[in-house]
Amino acid sequence: MARVVCPGSFDPVTNGHLDIIGRAAGLHDEVIVAVLINITKKTLFTVDERVEMLGEVTRGYGNVRVERFHGLTVDFCVANGVNMIVKGLRAVSDFEYEMQMAQMNYRLAKIETMFMTTNPQYSFLSSSLVKEVAKYGGDVSGLVPEPVLGRLHTRLAVSLPGE
């Protein structure tokens, strides 16, 4: 069985992520979306919230499941019988760091990385930009799935007065 891992922070999942996950699901038997638990990084959404949102927006894919992990991505891959990571590449600026990670992951555990070019519709899109634009009231509809849009509005409406 060809099982792959799509790792990331997904804070929050964007339509760019979802495009890659969906295309990976069409190419492989099973896709595990692995959400990194990183207690040192300040995130807008908790891991539980990020996993829940991903679960909702990938529900339509019978071969996608969402898990959380901490530590090395390659250790998660090995523990789950996976030998390939799938990542999206938006622009040349992504390439250098992604290549370093891919080479390190291969060196650590012989885990391959498959890069998929992001749909040009989403080549400028990142979770950080979405959060920044939404924080200042900009329109991010069409850039994140509907359930994420709702949660973004609720979270930022609550956090704005305290800033």
Cβ-based nearer residue to ligand PNS, 33 or 140: 33
The catalytic position among 28, 50, 127, 131 is 127
Q: How many CA atoms lie within 13 Å of 9's alpha carbon, on the beta-carbon side?
A: 14
Estimate the crossing angle of helix 127-135 against helix 146-159, to 10 degrees: 50
Report yes or no: 47 and 149 within 8 Å, Cβ to Cβ: no
Interface with ligand PNS includes 36 (CB under 6 A)?
A: yes
Residue type, 53: M
Active site residue 42: no
CB nearer ligand PNS, residue 41 or residue 137: 41
Q: Which of 28, 50, 87, 90 is catalytic?
A: 90
Give yes or no: 127 in active site: yes
Query: Does residue 131 have an active-site annotation?
Result: no
Q: Please give the DSSP secondary-structure letter assigned to residue 160.
A: G
E-assigned strand segments in 9-130: 30-36, 64-69, 84-89, 112-117
Tell me if 113 contacts ligand PNS by CB under 6 A. Answer: no
Residue numbers annotated as active site: 17, 41, 90, 127
Residues near ligand PNS (CB under 6 A) are: 7-9, 36, 72-73, 101, 104-105
